[in-house]
Amino acid sequence: MTSKAKPAGRLLYAQSGGVTAVINATAAGVIDAARAKGVPVYAAHNGILGALREELIDTSKETKAAIAALRHTPGGAFGSCRYKLKSLEANRTEYERLIDVFRAHDIRWFLYNGGNDSADTALKISQLGKAMDYDIRCIGVPKTVDNDLAVTDCCPGFGSVAKYTAVSTLEASLDVASMADTSTKVFILEVMGRHAGWIAAAAGLAGEGADAPPHIILFPERAFDEAAFLAKVKATVERVGWCTVVASEGLLNAEGQFLAEAGTRDAFGHSQLGGVAPVLAALVKEKLGYKYHWALPDYLQRSARHLASKTDADQAYAVGKAAVDYALAGMNAVMPVIVRTSDAPYRWKIEPAPLSKIANREKKMPANFLTRDGFGITAAARRYLGPLIQGEAPPPYGKNGLPQYVTLKNTMVARKLEPFAR
């Protein structure tokens, strides 16, 4: 096939799991690259569920301007879901349904944009061709604010939440410092991160030195030591006059239990966490008697496109384009990953990596990124994290003072099959 020949078939793109400030930039990269090659792109409505339900969106109905606007629009433009496919042996019906949908719409390439569980789903679907006699190529596309995907240097979505966290820590700390004499002494910010403390670590970029906030960072990688924590808070307040604490939602006690276990599980089987910040605040109040405030940014941290990192936005778009290139080149069961080639100046490139080395693996904070007492980040962590929050890529603003985000038409493709009942 020459470079001018139009590949036969359609490409299906889907978004999975928690969305980010820049996942739509990846979608734009996918659609731009496919359009340049003359390949039609469908998008699954609400992730893999859209593929199972035959709820497919025809992206050719969107204008070039609308697709371009995806690069600065947060959320998931086509809808996402938390749904994990079981093995082919455990639920063959779902896989047969996927193949039926792929056949009905001549889908030859499937791009699944998500994190750890999505990489596992992408790997399973990549194995469908031989198992079910259908030529389908599957590419996993990286995305997660948790930054815990193996192999890749960083994950699209993380740089922006890292920037939001560092900025919020800095700004809130200035507020606390202003009022500490007669009001709040301890401020606790809870951030995302179930098993890996990358987002909490990013808060450390807000300041450097013993008296600069955040004074304490609590990581899932280190068991929570109540006595050491309270001693550090007390010493900081006595020395500085106030104390900023940043805690990961996945903080564990010495027995390996979540401090904020809510007793329920999500669709992926993960424990639902009920809020570690109020648990810590209650300790501070009960044991030390300090006035406190705590904050839980929750969705705000991953949807704050107005404060996105330009580096992150650029990388998100780049992995989308690379995923299309890999798919059309005939690759299967790979993911475009980010490879750092230089810290200063920061340089990076995109390379393919096997999904088998990414699926069901979790990258945690290296030991040399945490200070000896476990309450801060090292110079090595700063060298890694610093470049990822560099640059600003603000969205355009309208006359009403609000960002101008795009809402796609999301024109559905006509169904060709009977409804699917799970």
pLDDT digits (tens, 9 = 90+) for 77-117: 999 999 888 888 888 899 999 999 999 999 999 999 999 88
The DSSP symbol for 212 reads S
Structure confidence at residue 159 (pLDDT): 98
Is residue 151 domain-resident?
A: no
Angle at 60 between CA 118 and CA 417, to 5 degrees: 65
Structure confidence at residue 260 (pLDDT): 76
End-to-end alpha carbon distance in the chain:
40
Biggest CA pair distance of the chain: 74
Structure confidence at residue 399 (pLDDT): 95
Spatial separation of the C-alpha atoms in residues 233 and 109, rounded to whole Å: 53
Span 337-383, pLDDT tens digits: 999 999 999 999 999 999 999 998 999 999 999 999 999 999 999 99
Is residue 213 domain-resident?
A: yes
Is residue 24 domain-resident?
A: no
Is residue 2 domain-resident?
A: no
> Which among 156, 248, 142 is positioned nearest to 194, based on CA atoms?
248
> Which among 194, 191, 241 is positioned nearest to 213, based on CA atoms?
241
pLDDT band at 405 (very low <50, low <70, confident <90, very high): very high
Is residue 273 domain-resident?
A: yes
Write the CATH number for 186: 3.40.50.460
As annotated, the active-site residues are 146
Query: Among all chains, which residue has been given the structure tokens 């100046």?
Result: 345
pLDDT at 1 over 50: no
pLDDT band at 262 (very low <50, low <70, confident <90, very high): very low
Spatial separation of the C-alpha atoms in residues 137 and 333, rounded to whole Å: 7
Which whole number is the average pLDDT over 106-134? 91
Structure confidence at residue 117 (pLDDT): 86
Amino acid (1-letter code) at residue 330: G
Spatial separation of the C-alpha atoms in residues 171 and 285, rounded to whole Å: 23
What's the mean pLDDT when you consider all of the chain? Answer: 93
Span 305-339, pLDDT tens digits: 999 999 999 999 999 999 999 999 999 999 999 99
User: 10 Å Cβ neighbour count for 365?
Assistant: 23
Domain that holds residue 256: 158-305
pTM: 0.94
Structure confidence at residue 194 (pLDDT): 86
Structure confidence at residue 6 (pLDDT): 67
pLDDT band at 5 (very low <50, low <70, confident <90, very high): low
Is residue 22 domain-resident?
A: no
Span 217-260, pLDDT tens digits: 999 999 999 999 999 999 999 999 999 999 999 999 988 888 87
What is the share, in percent, of the chain residues with pLDDT greater than 90?
84
Structure confidence at residue 392 (pLDDT): 97
Span 146-158, pLDDT tens digits: 999 999 999 999 9
Instruction: Quote the radius of gyration of the chain (alpha carbons, Å).
Output: 23
> Which among 409, 157, 171, 142 is positioned nearest to 304, based on CA atoms?
157
Span 281-290, pLDDT tens digits: 999 999 999 9
pLDDT at 269 over 90: no
Is residue 8 domain-resident?
A: no
Structure confidence at residue 268 (pLDDT): 46
Spatial separation of the C-alpha atoms in residues 44 and 30, rounded to whole Å: 13
Q: How many domains does the chain have?
A: 1
pLDDT band at 3 (very low <50, low <70, confident <90, very high): very low
Spatial separation of the C-alpha atoms in residues 166 and 204, rounded to whole Å: 7
Structure confidence at residue 271 (pLDDT): 52
Is residue 181 domain-resident?
A: yes
